[in-house]
């Protein structure tokens, strides 16, 4: 009986030894099948992500303004296009080209594009499988489980789509920021040129005032004029000298602001003024401009993409309720039949909530963005109409001052000079005509600068270039000459 028992026990041990490779092979086959299924699941969930790069933004800005963003450079480094020559003066076109390549604020904004690229990469990443194992210590058998996410089949593609839409939104916003930078640089350049012209005009006026004061002093000594007339002329000459100092400082301030926008604040580069082209007389269809702005402005397209991204986030919130995780497989080292392995599933039971908070937040965000689009659309139309009205007003003002007021003021100054030489008018009348000519010249320059600012704002509001100012005839930097005041030999 003992031998039979021993025989049966040995036989059982022999059977377990013989059957162990069989169950081991079954386990390997099972693992290989589930590994194959896991690979299919991962392949089905793989979506090739796409994102927009700096070259896309540069091409968009180039198509709208005629200037690109230049090559990417490390922080604190500057880059200049080879056609920009500093020695012969800085034109408006060169200033815009330099600013788009080196404007510090815009270069900071361009870093957001790389962040959006990183977000796309992160959204496309597959979640790493998790391993759960129980070590066979003591009587505890070894257990092994492999957890792999299953919801990538229906969650990951939407997550990638939302990240791609966000990347496109950032690219469109950066294109709009590029339009804003171009507008700011052009306005700063116009203000700098206007400040330089004001300083030159003030110097020329101060020279004329000194000449009138010299004549007044000579006539006072001859007894031809009263002391009261000479006092008024002297006071006006002192005011002119103070204006020269003030306008010179204003020109320096305008130059430094332009240098900051160009990104050359800490360099030795100094922009030199050059003759500015005269804005051509033109007209536009304001309704057509409004339609173009509403349909093609980058900031409006960015809001549209943000709405689509918010709708995708709502889909993610709805699909991320169960949070399925496949257990591929769950293995026990020793059971009644050796190794035991089998699949499983782990998921969240949506009893207490069905992700209503995240869904409601995504819906509210999408609705807010839809309303934001309506606001931005109406704002774009208002900006175009406002800029167009300012353009028309500046164009009309320039025609009045240039074609009507300025010639008459110049003629009045010439007539007063002739009358002064003949002794028919007083110095106060000459002084008054001098002020009128100075004011007419300054207002003519102000009107021209305002017209150029209005064109820059109108182009930014529409979203692309409208007027090729560079192709217009250049305007001389010299001021309109004052009539030369001549006095007789007895007054010298």
185, 390, 386: which is closest to 293 by C-alpha? 386
Q: What is the CATH number of the domain that holds 178?
A: 1.20.1600.10
Query: What's the first-to-final CA gap in the chain, in angstroms?
Result: 154
Q: Is 89 a member of any domain?
A: yes
461, 95, 22: which is closest to 269 by C-alpha? 95
**CA dihedral of 57, 464, 475, 398, whole degrees rounded to 10:** -140
Choose from 51-55, 125-129, 178-182, 480-484 the range with maximum mean pLDDT: 178-182
Which of the four pLDDT bands, split at 50, 70 and 90, describes residue 84?
confident
Structure tokens at 387: 């800029």
Which of the four pLDDT bands, split at 50, 70 and 90, describes residue 275?
confident
Which phi and psi (to 5°) does residue 481 adopt? -70, 145
Q: What are the start-end ranges of the E strands in 253-324? A: none
Q: What integer is the mean pLDDT of 481-489?
A: 38
Q: Is 3 a member of any domain?
A: no
pLDDT of residue 256: 94
Q: What integer is the mean pLDDT of 185-210?
A: 89
Q: Is 15 a member of any domain?
A: no
Give the strand pairing for 130-134 and 338-346: unpaired
User: 3-state class of 345 per DSSP?
Assistant: strand
Choose from 15-29, 79-93, 119-133, 448-462 the range with maximum mean pLDDT: 448-462
Query: Got the DSSP string for 30-48?
Result: HHHHHHHHHHHHHHHH---
Q: Is 12 a member of any domain?
A: no
Calpha distance 99→387 (Å, rounded): 23
Which of the four pLDDT bands, split at 50, 70 and 90, describes residue 367?
very high
pLDDT at 480 over 60: no
Domain count for the chain, please give it: 1
- The mean-pLDDT minimum among 225-234, 291-300, 468-477 falls in 468-477
179, 209, 156: which is closest to 45 by C-alpha? 156
187 compared with 322, residue with greater pLDDT: 187
Which of the four pLDDT bands, split at 50, 70 and 90, describes residue 17?
very low
Q: What integer is the mean pLDDT of 446-467?
A: 92
Calpha distance 110→174 (Å, rounded): 7
Alpha helices (runs of H) in 340-470, residue ranges in sequence order? 356-400, 406-421, 427-462
pLDDT at 49 over 50: yes
Q: Is 397 a member of any domain?
A: yes
Q: Is 475 a member of any domain?
A: yes
Q: What integer is the mean pLDDT of 453-482?
A: 68
pLDDT at 18 over 50: no
Q: What own/partner pairs with CB < 8 Å and gap ≥ 24 does 252-256 have?
A: 253/195, 254/188, 254/191, 254/192, 254/194, 254/195, 254/196, 255/192, 255/195
pLDDT one-digit tens code per residue, 87-123: 888 999 999 999 999 999 999 999 998 898 888 888 8
pLDDT > 70: percent of the chain: 77
- Quickly count: other Cβ atoms within 10 Å of residue 364's Cβ: 12
pLDDT of residue 25: 52
pLDDT of residue 11: 42
pLDDT one-digit tens code per residue, 153-163: 778 888 888 89
pLDDT of residue 334: 63
User: What is the DSSP-derived secondary structure letter of residue 76?
Assistant: T
Q: Is 17 a member of any domain?
A: no
Look up the domain containing 374 and give its range: 23-491
Q: Is 8 a member of any domain?
A: no
pLDDT of residue 16: 38
- The mean-pLDDT minimum among 132-136, 292-296, 421-425 falls in 421-425
């Amino acid at each position: 009986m003992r031998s039979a028992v021993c025989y049966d026990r040995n036989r059982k041990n022999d059977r377990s030894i013989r059957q162990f490779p069989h169950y081991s092979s079954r386990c390997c086959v099972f693992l290989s099948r589930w590994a194959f299924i896991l690979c299919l699941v991962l392949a089905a969930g793989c979506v090739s992500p796409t994102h927009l790069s700096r070259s896309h933004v540069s091409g968009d800005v180039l198509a709208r303004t005629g200037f690109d963003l230049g090559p990417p450079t490390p922080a604190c480094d500057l880059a200049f296009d080879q056609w920009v020559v500093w020695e012969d003066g800085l034109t408006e076109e060169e200033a815009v080209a330099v600013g788009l390549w080196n404007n510090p604020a815009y270069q900071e904004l361009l870093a957001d594009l790389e962040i959006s690229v990183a977000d796309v990469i992160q959204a496309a990443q597959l979640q790493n499988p998790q391993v759960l194992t129980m070590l066979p210590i003591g009587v505890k058998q070894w257990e092994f489980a492999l957890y792999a996410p299953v919801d990538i089949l229906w969650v990951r593609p939407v997550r990638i789509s939302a990240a791609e839409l966000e990347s496109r939104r950032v690219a469109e916003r950066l294109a709009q920021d590029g339009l804003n930078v171009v507008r700011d640089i052009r306005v700063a350049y116009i203000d700098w040129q206007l400040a330089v012209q004001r300083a030159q005009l003030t110097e020329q006026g101060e020279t004329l005032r000194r000449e009138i004061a010299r004549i007044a002093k000579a006539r006072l000594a001859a007894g031809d004029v009263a002391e009261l007339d000479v006092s008024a002329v002297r006071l006006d000459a002192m005011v002119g000298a103070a204006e020269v100092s003030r306008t010179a400082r204003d020109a320096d301030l305008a130059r430094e602001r332009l240098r900051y926008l160009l990104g050359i604040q800490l360099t030795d580069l100094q922009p030199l003024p050059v003759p500015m082209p005269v804005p051509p007389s033109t007209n536009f269809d304001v309704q057509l401009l409004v339609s173009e702005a509403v349909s093609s402005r980058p900031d409006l397209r960015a809001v549209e993409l943000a709405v689509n991204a918010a709708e995708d986030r709502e889909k993610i919130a709805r699909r991320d309720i169960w949070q399925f995780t496949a257990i591929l497989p769950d293995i026990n080292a020793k059971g009644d039949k050796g190794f035991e392995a089998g699949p499983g599933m782990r998921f969240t039971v949506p009893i207490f909530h069905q992700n209503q908070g995240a869904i409601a937040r995504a819906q509210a965000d999408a609705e807010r963005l839809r309303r934001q689009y309506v606001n931005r659309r109406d704002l774009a139309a208002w900006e175009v109409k406002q800029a167009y009205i300012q353009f028309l007003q500046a164009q009309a003002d320039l025609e009045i001052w240039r074609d009507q007021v300025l010639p008459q003021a110049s003629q009045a100054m010439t007539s007063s000079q002739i009358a002064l030489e003949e002794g028919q008018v007083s110095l106060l009348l000459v002084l008054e005509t001098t002020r009128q000519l100075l004011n007419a010249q300054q207002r003519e320059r102000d009107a021209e600068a305002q017209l150029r600012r209005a064109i820059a704002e109108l182009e930014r509001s529409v979203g692309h270039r409208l007027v090729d100012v560079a192709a217009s005839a250049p305007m001389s930097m010299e001021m309109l000459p004052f009539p030369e005041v001549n006095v007789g030999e007895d007054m010298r």
